[in-house]
Amino acid sequence: MINNNRSDHARVMRESQREFSQRQVQEILDVADFEQVIAKGHFDVVVPTIDLLEGMV
């Protein structure tokens, strides 16, 4: 999950873990985290709650 708003983050993480309790949810807070996760390629879905291009251009 990609989220840069701390107040939304806690709520979204809580709901994600409740709904997807058998899955690993990994938080991504910045571009460096995003690039690292993408490079590893160990994910099934990405849920962005921010504009991914913001700060990357």
Tell me: the pLDDT tens digits for 4-42? 666 777 787 788 888 887 877 777 777 888 888 889 888
Q: Answer with the residue of higher pLDDT: 51 or 18.
A: 18
Number of domains present in the structure of the chain: 1
pLDDT at 26: 78
pLDDT at 39: 92
Domain that holds residue 21: 1-57
Answer positive or negative: Cα dihedral of 32, 3, 10, 25. Answer: negative
Element (H, E) at 54: none
Taking 80 as the threshold, does the pLDDT of residue 3 lie above it? no
Q: Answer with the residue of higher pLDDT: 45 or 1.
A: 45
